[in-house]
Amino acid sequence: MMESGIPLCSTCGELVGFSSSSSDEVFVACSNCNYPLCRSCLEEEIRENRESCLRCGEPYFHAGEKDSLKDLESVEHVTMASRLQDDQDDGVHARNLSNLSMTESELNDVSGNPIWKNRVQSWKEKKIKKNADKKALKKTQVPLEQQMEAKESQEAGKPFSAIIPISRNKLTPYRAVIILRLIILGLFFHYRITNPVDSAYGLWLTSVICEVWFAFSWVLDQFPKWSPICRETYIDTLSSRYEMEGESCMLASVDFFVSTVDPLKEPPLVTANTVLSILAVDYPVEKVSCYVSDDGAAMLTFEAMAETAEFATKWVPFCKKYLIEPRAPEFYFSQKFDYLKDKVQPSFVKERRAMKRDYEEYKVRINALVAKAQKTPEDGWVMQDGTPWPGNNTRDHPGMIQVFLGHSGAHDIEGNELPRLVYVSREKRPGYQHHKKAGAMNALVRVSAVLTNAPYILNLDCDHYVNNSKAVREAMCFMMDPQVGPHLCYVQFPQRFDGIDRSDRYANRNIVFFDVNMKGLDGIQGPVYVGTGCVFNRQALYGYGPTSLPTLPKSSFCSWCCSCCCCCPSKKASKDKNESFKDSRREDLNAAIFNLKEIDNYDEYERSMLISQMSFEKSFGLSSVFIESTLMENGGLPESVNSSTLIKEAIHVISCGYEEKTEWGKEIGWIYGSVTEDILTGFKMHCRGWRSIYCMPLRPAFKGSAPINLSDRLHQVLRWALGSVEIFLSRHCPLWYGYGGGRLKWLQRLAYINTIVYPFTSLPLIAYCSLPAICLLTGKFIIPTLSNVASMLFLGLFISIILTSVLELRWSGVGVEDWWRNEQFWVIGGVSAHLFAVFQGFLKMLAGVDTNFTVTAKASDDAEFGELYVFKWTTLLIPPTTLIVLNMVGVVAGFSDALNSGYEAWGPLFGKVFFSLWVILHLYPFLKGLMGRQNRTPTIVVLWSVLLASVFSLLWVKIDPFISNTDDSSGSQGCNSIDC
């Protein structure tokens, strides 16, 4: 933002200055539109008899005020700040750009808005003036009494949502135990550090370092859950406010994004069910558009969408007529419940049977397409009209857009309109960086802005269907709330999954994260973005800040400087400040003016407009249609757009070179630079001052399918951890990014730091899990002989850990089994996927080496949860298997040594075995998954693990044997008889 708070003259580029030498008010030439013009340029305009403002056409002075240029200072003007405030009060489109989301060459005014945006204000003023007569006519048609009643009812209406705080009886003890545990940790580390184990100094030092890191990671994870909250929504209130009988629906439009890449890995039937559930959502048809991104340019996906569009003409009216839940046919027909419950229409049974038969036929057609696609023809795929499929080369193909359904297109079997369904495959060419999913999502943002431009965007993975048809209304209870909505960047829903066994062996549901951590973040600045099931404010994706930014606190140093400046005003200091400001900000403006001066036949007004357009193009790209859509704060297409050219423009905005030299992926849209673009995108929005909301309806909004077998689960965790490491090594690391604006709360920053440092816990975790086995094999221990005080400290620490978990489960409602599965997989993922992610991340970011771990599958004969028992070999299995073997060998060696040494060795053995059993117990689900369906560990895993465990054990014995040479020599010298 401009530190001086003084805008630049649109003619000469200099600061406009103050209204008088003794005034702090910014000089304003035109009091009507606040057009930035300095005093010298204004005098030149008047001398040349140009007395009207270049922007609004109004005269600079009223009658009788231009008699003398010497009295120019006495003319009454409004200040810049008051004019901006009036614009906001009148509903004029005013957005704020955070300084965190701007390049160094951007120009901002006092309120944080770019200078070019103020100039483009005239575009909107033209539109407002054009529609003024229409609005006045509508107002005159409504009686004044009715307007007053509607206004009073709106003001007295109920809120759309409410915060349900956690009970103090649950939250106060929870916070008290957290503080108590922090105190105990301080006393515990004081004891550990002041009481080293001299006989095993290396083991003791390693254990202390690991314990310090565990305490640090606990603080990062625990304190963002300090103020958890729950929310409830009032959909009926929303409907009564925006869906009045006899009037047009006032609910906001929503664009759905569904992304897919490879139809052979992501079955088209799964994607089709997601699309069908979107088309049948309980929301006004004209307000819903579904965009399917096919980043693999597969003809199979295209044909599957064509079949889906045809089947939707039957499925959508069936769902809405009988209020079907869920509205994904595969999951609706597979439910095991009494589908006649609460149904009163006799025709339902007949129509349901007919619909199920139609769906089975639809599935056969989709499966036939999949079977046909298994073998690609030598000449490539050919479309029905005989032309080659443009996407035969997945790495070199043009952009493709096909509108299957729309408001002016096909209707359902009952003659009603259907939501818009658009197939999109962005252009790909060799030599261009396409940025995988993040690039595909940004292409959808631009396409949707050109074709429908809904103010809100809901993105789903191809395997996440709409489980609650009212999910969009749930989100609108927050987004359309006049009090809450202007500050929201997105509404995040929890992820829920189908097809997981009851015990949830590998913690696929992530219950602790979604029901504990996310509720805690909702009490701070909002939950993190998790990649799917999220409703976005389109303006937030464009890199803007919220309409009202929080007041930045002044530091004591700044206050001291201000007081000094007040006491001892210095014109030289002010001048130096202005000069430094002009030097740092003039370059971009001069460059734009210089380029425009080379163009003839442009007057000053047109030149100003072109400067504004060029500033837009630097950020958003070379598309006038898209640029104009960004000014539509409430969505919708501009009236000046020719509908016949929209598809051509949409093809243009998904070209592979469109994002070059723009802010896409840097400050606008989904952010590039990490495979977990979701975390990075949400983090940038929170840094700009936005907040997010966590919405948990009673019926889960969306459901998906999770990787269920051990290997796939570990690879999923590996990808997440790798993304966190990439963010840690990038400029967007929360440890050092986003401090300038002061809009990211410190507890929220702790949560983001936790999301990028948790993979590094794998290093101390794997060392700590190895320590028990080493202690058992060497006869040493990491803890000295305990005193009474030390015993109380250890006991207090364990009790505080248990109490924290119990109280956390109490206020969150999470079950003990889910918590225990989360703890187990924290160890399993930490010693395998997280460890590999750290090394792979450093190799990728620092050395440019991209390492991939291949997975090969084995067949399974089980019907239900058969995927759970499939074993897939992967390198990730080696470290945890080695730990299990090592600890089992250590336990056997420890008991053997205790039996040979007598009863005195059983006391120290208890502590060592306890830690080894702790490791084995946490790795038990991994061991069970390692056995496979046949309860037999694959030979390759056994060989690798035994080899590593043997080498490690022999190496340790070689370095530090159980019995030292000095002890042996002294013993042999002192023994002279057979009875010694």
461 annotated to a ligand binding site: yes
Query: What residues in the chain have per-residue pLDDT under 70?
Result: 1-6, 8, 10-14, 19-24, 32-33, 48-50, 54-57, 61-157, 342-344, 407-409, 548-614, 741, 848-872, 900-908, 930-980
259 annotated to a ligand binding site: yes
Catalytic residue among 294, 481, 678, 818: 678
What architecture does CATH give domain 1-61?
2-Layer Sandwich (3.30)
All CATH 3.30.40.10 domain ranges in the chain, comma separated: 1-61
CB-based contact 624:128 (threshold 8 Å) = no
Using CA atoms, how far apart are residues 965 and 972, in angstroms rounded to an integer? Answer: 11
266 annotated to a ligand binding site: yes
Using CA atoms, how far apart are residues 846 and 242, in angstroms rounded to an integer? Answer: 53
Report pLDDT for 610.
Answer: 54
pLDDT tens digits along 280-306: 999 999 899 999 999 888 899 999 999
User: In DSSP terms, which residues pair with 669 in a beta bridge?
Assistant: none
| Catalytic site includes residue 678 | yes
Which positions ≥6 away from 491 have C-beta within 8 Å?
475, 478, 479, 534, 535, 692, 693, 694, 695
From 429, 422, 430, select the one nearest 446 (Cα to Cα). Answer: 422
From 270, 288, 293, 266, select the one nearest 278 (Cα to Cα). Answer: 288
Q: In this structure, what are the phi and psi dihedrals at residue 519, rounded to the nearest 5 degrees?
A: -65, -35
Which positions ≥6 away from 888 have C-beta within 8 Å?
920
Residue 138: C-alpha distances to residues 74, 135, 252, 886 (Å): 42, 5, 21, 80
Q: What global pTM score does this model have?
A: 0.74
Secondary structure string (H, E, C) spanning 626-684: HHHHHCCCCCCCCCCCCHHHHHHHHHHHCCCCCCCCCCECCCECCCCCCCCHHHHHHHH
Q: What is 235-373+381-547+664-706's CATH number?
A: 3.90.550.10
Using CA atoms, how far apart are residues 298 and 393, in angstroms rounded to an integer? Answer: 9
Residue 320: C-alpha distances to residues 280, 282, 315 (Å): 7, 7, 9
563 annotated to a ligand binding site: no
From 463, 131, 124, select the one nearest 277 (Cα to Cα). Answer: 463
Opening angle at CA 951, ends 946 and 957, nearest 5 = 125
* CA 379 from centre of chain: 41
Q: In this structure, what are the phi and psi dihedrals at residue 180, rounded to the nearest 5 degrees?
A: -60, -40
Residue 164 host element (H or E) = strand 161-165
pLDDT tens digits along 897-934: 777 666 666 666 777 788 888 888 888 888 777 665 54
Query: Crossing angle for the helix pair 762-778 and 878-901, nearest 10 degrees?
Result: 30
All CATH 3.90.550.10 domain ranges in the chain, comma separated: 235-373+381-547+664-706
Rg (CA), the chain: 33
Catalytic residue among 87, 294, 295, 481: 295
Report pLDDT for 537.
Answer: 92
Structure token digits, residue 739: 């401090």
CB-based contact 444:669 (threshold 8 Å) = no
The residue with tokens 């799964």 is 270
437 annotated to a ligand binding site: yes
* CA 390 from centre of chain: 33
